Structure 1
Amino acid sequence: MLAILAVGGGVSYAVYRVQKAELLDGASRDLRAATQAFERSLDHIFQPALTLSQSVLDSGVRHRKGEDLAEHFFAVVIGPVRQFEHVNGAFLGFPDGRFLHLQDLALADEIPGEGAERGQPVVRRRIIDRPDLDGSGRWQRFDHLGSRWQEATAAHRPYDPRQRPWYKAAVEGGGPVWTDAYVFASSGRLGVTYAEPIYDDSGAVWAVLGIDLSLGSLSRTLIVTAEALAGTGDLVFATDLANKMLGHPDFVAHATELDHDTEAFLARYREPGSFESLVVNAVDRPGEITEVQARGASYLATKFQLDPSRAMPLQIFLARDLQRVLAGAVATVRRNVALVFLAVVVFGVVATYAVKLRVEAAARRRAEAELIEARDIAEAATRAKSTFLATMSHEIRTPMNGVMSMVELLSLSRLDAEQRRMTRVIADSATALLTIINDILDLSKIEAGKLEIETIGFSLSEVVDGSAELLAPRAEERGLDLLVDVDPALVDARLGDPTRIRQILLNLGSNAVKFTERGGIGIRVAAADGDGRRLRFEVSDTGIGLTPEQQGKLFQAFVQADSSTSRKYGGTGLGLSICQRLCELMGGRIGVQSAPDAGSTFWFELPLEPAAAAPRCHAADLSAASVALIDLPDAVAGVAERWLRATGVTAVARLADVETAADADLRVVGCATPGLTAEALGRLGGTVALVGRRSELAALPAAVRAGAPVLLTLPLSGPTLWRAVAVALGLEAADATDVERRDDLAFAAPPVDEARAAGALVLVAEDNETNQVVVRQMLGRMGFACEVAANGRIALEMLAASGAGYGLLLTDFNMPEMDGFELARAVRGGEDAAGRRLPIVALTADALGGTEQRCLEAGMDGYLTKPIDSRKLGAVLARHLPQGLALRRPMADGPVAPAPAAAPDWDTDIFDPRSITETFGGFDREAIEFVGDASESWGPRIEEVNAALADGDVGRARDAAHTLKGATLSIGAVRLGRIAADIQDLLDAGDPETAGLMAEVLAPTLDEFRHTLPAIRRFAGQPGS
């Protein structure tokens, strides 16, 4: 029996020793892994100081002087100082005793003399600019309500930065240094200063930059990281290399006591018998795992030091209670011993149990290895998915673009009816395939969290009407009515993401058209709450409807209402899932109301803050007008009446036919009105506007169209209806090419030599030939002479050859060899010695956030966006080139060409003649020839966009799209320019896949423009071909 007990006890002890060794080894590994986790989490405390220091150096602060130096320095550092809670301040100390200091006292409990409420942020700055006369300088406090600096009343003492430890350490060390931790006088809390010398061109110290960091967040970070590690460190604290305590969980738990007397509070940790002192003395080398006896227990302890290039000299101590580490092993041995004494006769069971423990440990290790392997496989699958989607996008789009281009060319050849039907099927199938690919890529981006939602200003009516305009051809092709009803009482200017709102509307609208055989589609927008800050969009149809079971499946990815829906109508079922996720990303929700065979209403609500105080209305007073709505569908008439009353028109009548029409300033007549003849329209008198689908208006006899100066296409929008009323009242001309008399555009330019002699010659740096002509024409009509350089390099050479003759430089951003920014910097660099400053204004088709700041940093005086607003250009010329005003020559009055007899018979979204009319002073032969010549250069540019996208060269594609955008918008090719702008924006946002889809419509849109040229020539009184 004793032998059995001995054997049983020995086995139990052996199992305990094995488990203890494994647990100690595991605890040691955990402590080493924890050191890496703590090092990563502590990086955010010290990194802002290094980043802010680099930002100050990169800002060129040492090239500033006087008040400009102070304002520039404060402007650079105020954002980071206010953003990061633990960054208490930033300052510059100069060898002559000058001192600039920005201080954030948001953490201080009381700020004498400031009158701030407790807990409110107080930002102050100190300026000592005359240390020889006033060593105290002046304090200023930032007024958050007025957004300006005010003189502060806080008491202050003289301050010499040269005598401060941070200044001396940085100068003596010759590089970045961290001071020892000390108590900040401003907040009474423990902190450290990062200092770095700034040298001038001669290598002498120009100034020393200092940044104060509060160490209050150090203790909180230690606590949070320890909790995240699920008990890895039972105790964690931080000291400097001299073992002075800087961070400890007690600092958070006893913050009031710490603030009251910091030094006394820290002294307790230096007492020989304290736990912290024992751990510090026991752990000698970083990374070493040491067993420490303290508090009557045993601990495993280690320490590590932060990278001195990334943080202050700091060492972190971690300790873990061995009793907790070995708790499992102790419990096991107790259980085994009990079993031995209670069941000696079953010794074999005890041995089996010991073996079982080993097997379980091995199984656990295998399970952990399998989990790691499964994780690696899942991550590899995710990477493979992303790679596959990117490859699929490129590999499928490239041949599909070829297929679609060839089908388009084939459809223009001579085909019989059956061949034409087959080409249409091929084109529709290719388009459907590209739609499926785009949906899959969108869903992948959303799932990966890479889809960003922006908040910008936009016009609600433009987004809704623009979406309806894209849906109208398909609805008309299927014989469906399309109605747009936006509540006129809504504020039109909104803040949100117009691109994603348009995407949802187009998706819901396309579904409505697809699933509706007869009837119509309605798009309605109204307020979803009382103050109009949340809007409800509805897309309704008279289609097949949905059962409750089908409605429950709608917003699941790759799911349609049922399998028969997919077979009959096609599609992947991704669209509604994407819409739902987009709504959620924008803080909204989406739903559906439907019944079988009763149609559906899909709705979504979004928070869209108003960006204006009042709803949109016509610029002119239209309240005196009377309008008759003749033979319009009730829904259309209701929309028209609401828009009319919204702009003040109260005399609105609805009539059944033209024969009963009463007197009215404007008669809005439906195309399908019985008895609609030229004679009937002639008897009406006044102004007639015909309303109908595009195909209906195109099919009207010429005589009928001639009797109606205004044509309104369905769906009807408020602004187009308002314009018709203004035409009826004589406030606007029905002729879209009619322009107002502009006295500022009635001049001729002086000879170039005369302008050069007066220093009033304008130099234009622009690489696009179309834009060169536009700018030259516009400057000439304003009476200013100019010379043109094809790129920045040529412009710089021209300035060097005849610099004094130029009074203004207008430069594009994007040019070969040398862009506008490089040109501006080169000009400013040459002026430092010459002492003359040439005004520089940028011309750009980009109006993105940060554009103005980039211009100012490059030394420019401002920028103008393309297409150029002549009034803004005139203001620039008057401001920067006043010497040229006296040289302008009044333009001699010539014969005035007769105005065209009717409004343009093309879609002005294809070509809007107003821009070119303003540039050339009329819609004459010269302007028309320029438009035709300019359009010839767009084809190669479109080919360059497509070729670059096919090659994956995003930068070249973006530059080509940018050039195309500027050239087309400058002469009024609105639709083509808008598409080019969308492509550039998509490429800037890192979305070449969607940009590729947009690029596919460039060539058809250019063909659309070219097909319109004969009508444009006829309109201007020239031969049509």
Structure 2
Amino acid sequence: MQTGGAASALLLCVGLVVWLGWLVLREIDDFSVANSDNLQWSLAQADVEFLQFRLAMKDAQDNPAAMEDVRRRFDIFYSRMVTMSSGRVFHALRESVQSSAPRMRVLDFLEKTVPLIDGPDQEFLAELPSLLQQSEQVTADVRSFSLAALAAFAEVSDSRREGITELMIYIAAVLLALFIGLTLLAYAMFRLFRLAQKRADALQFASTRMKTIVQTSPNAIVVTDEVGVVREFNTAAEALFGFTRAEAVGRLALELMVPAETLGRHQFGALAFLDEHRRPRPEEQHFEITLQTRDLHLFPAEISADRAEADNPLYVFYIRDISNWKEAEEQLTEARDRALAGERTKSEFLAVMSHEMRTPLNGLLGAMQLMRDHSLTERQGDLLDRMQSSGRLLLELVNDVLDLAKFEAGKMKAEEAPFSINRLLDGLVETAQPLAQTYGNELNWRWSGPEGDGAIGDARRLRQVLLNLVGNALKFTRDGSVEVEVEYLDAARTEVEFRVIDNGIGIAEKDLARIFQDFETLDSSYAREAGGTGLGLGIARRFMRLMGGEIGAESEPGEGSLFWIRVPLTPVEAVAAAPEEPRDHPDAPQRPLDVLLVEDNEINRFIVREMLEGEGHKVTIAENGQAGVDAAALHRYDVILMDISMPVMDGTTASGHIRGGTGACAAVPIIALTAHALPEERERFRKVGMTACLTKPIERPLLLRTLAEVTSGDVPALPPEPGVAPAAAPLLTVVQPQQEVPAAPETELLDEERLGAFLSEVPRPTVDKLLERFYAEMDRNIAALAETAPDDPDLGPVAHQCAGSCGPFGVEALRRALGRIETQVKRGDQPSRAELAALADLWQQSRSALESRLEAA
């Protein structure tokens, strides 16, 4: 840009010099006029010639023969005056005011004299005296004219000299500017030369460096033109393909390197951009392909390709032999498959062994529970307590292994249900209190910051994690304190942090990173005394990951420890249902109760009646809701167990009639029995005046504790006023804990824990009778369901009846499938025909598994 400006300025200066030179030449031309046009000479001659004309006239007076001389002198003077009147050099003089008047008088004299000069001699001689007299006056005019003209000429000459001087100054200035411009242009050209020289050196260096890189690259580099002819072939390419550079350059790259049998496929595939003469798209720039060497040896290659746009576009290919990498990949894949197979085998082994261990454990624990129904000595009671404690510890270990196997199999999912944080922590402290007293520790919990309560999340796993952290804190603390803090981390209350703080022995910093690993225990005196498998924190870490939360720890040896978990929870204003876990020693009613059981399922009626009558309670049966309403109106019972889905009249309607009537049981607690209930259904239970809700299948400890709570007045049922809709009594929802199992061949169909508890509590002859009815009922109803239309109004009730029958026998997979269908019907959706048809096959698998399990037992 600077060079262009300097060149433009230089051209301008050259133009000015040419123009000024033209002006000088014109002035020189003006000064080079002939001598006849010389102004000063002409003016001087005019005066002389007029005097000679006068002398000639005087001579003609004396000698008439001199008339020709007079005419000649007149013509000369006349010619001089005409020249001064019309000549180019006399233009400035003619415009002079001083010379104009005398000149005009002289010309007037001449014009008057011309006729005499041209006339006969006699007339001229006659007028000659008069002309001589007039010529005296004209002589003065000629002199005045000459002097004035000379003065004007002097002024014109001075002006011309000044113009020439200015012109020469302009020429000098322009020449100076031209010189400076030429100097600057020369400097710019010198800089351009140096810059071009540096760029040439840089290009030479870059070319040398690029050539060195290309030649020393471990990858083969092949450069082709737009039609695919090889233009460059580096040393690595020579070694890889077996061609020299001289042999490769000038040949088609595809014919040189790609096997003929795959050439056509690649031209329309990975190498399509070559035929289309375009730059490869990003996804086309890296690909794998099979190439060949000079001796036709095939090898897998990884290629990176791109196009250099220029006047003559080039394609650049970086080629790497990945034979070793492919071989290593195959070996790694094989090793991974073997490891996964081993891991699956280990997981299946753990799952099967855990279930096989849990089955006899459930039998032992059930038998121990039944033994307490008999009179025992104090020594026998102590031994039974220790046996039950050891059995529960072993069962917890088995459950930990099952949780671990289920998580690793990817079949564990977080639950979403409303619960009360305050109730959860109250129950946590109550459960862990005996352990705290064993080690002389104080245990409590508190809110840090604004208090809250209701939340939606996986309360069961959250409680399990907190119970593990609290249990560890208590075991590693002696005569100290353990406190659980809970705090909202954001204003929206969507993230909650729980902190378990103790002042026990603490943990070294180097051990904090490994305490969350599986089977990891610390080597300390308390640890040896406390023992443990080291699975608890590993499972807690997995549970927090499942719930989208975090877990961590801070500690100082001798100063205590702080374990924290952060978990996202959805806040709710009020919790209509708060899950509770059964206690280690569940409460039972302090007196025999008179119970009305309203249940349409024969098997469920038998199970619940056996549980209650075994505890000394009296049970009256009603097979549908209408029968329940009639019985409740005639006799006052201590409590009513009300199934929800029944023929004739459902449990919700029956409860509304009981609460709204004036019968004997209008204020009696009513406990809802349901396989599963939607949140909106639980709200309806509360509105019709139900006191509590139990989910099927029912376990005896949980049933007894619930009866104790509703009959002791802890959860009172408020009867409605006459003529007013039933009052919204507080609803105690007791969610039956469901033991999740991993996907093992048979155990995924059955809930071994529930089946084991059933077999341990019910005599075998009774079991056989119930099974006979169960098989007959399920064969009939499942076959009907498999062929039922999705919009059949009887679909929901039949699915509910079958699901209720599955519960006591632990037929868990089928029970859940039926529950999903019932939920769809309740929500106004329709299950698919394929889902209904699949029930028949699932029932046959479940029946085979159940028969095999009972045969083994």
Structure with greater helix percent: 2
TM-score by length of 2: 0.38
Task: Report 1 or 2 for greater relative contact order, CA contacts < 8 Å, sequence distance ≥ 6.
Answer: 2
TM-score by length of 1: 0.32
Structure with greater strand percent: 1
Question: Which has the greater radius of gyration?
Answer: 2
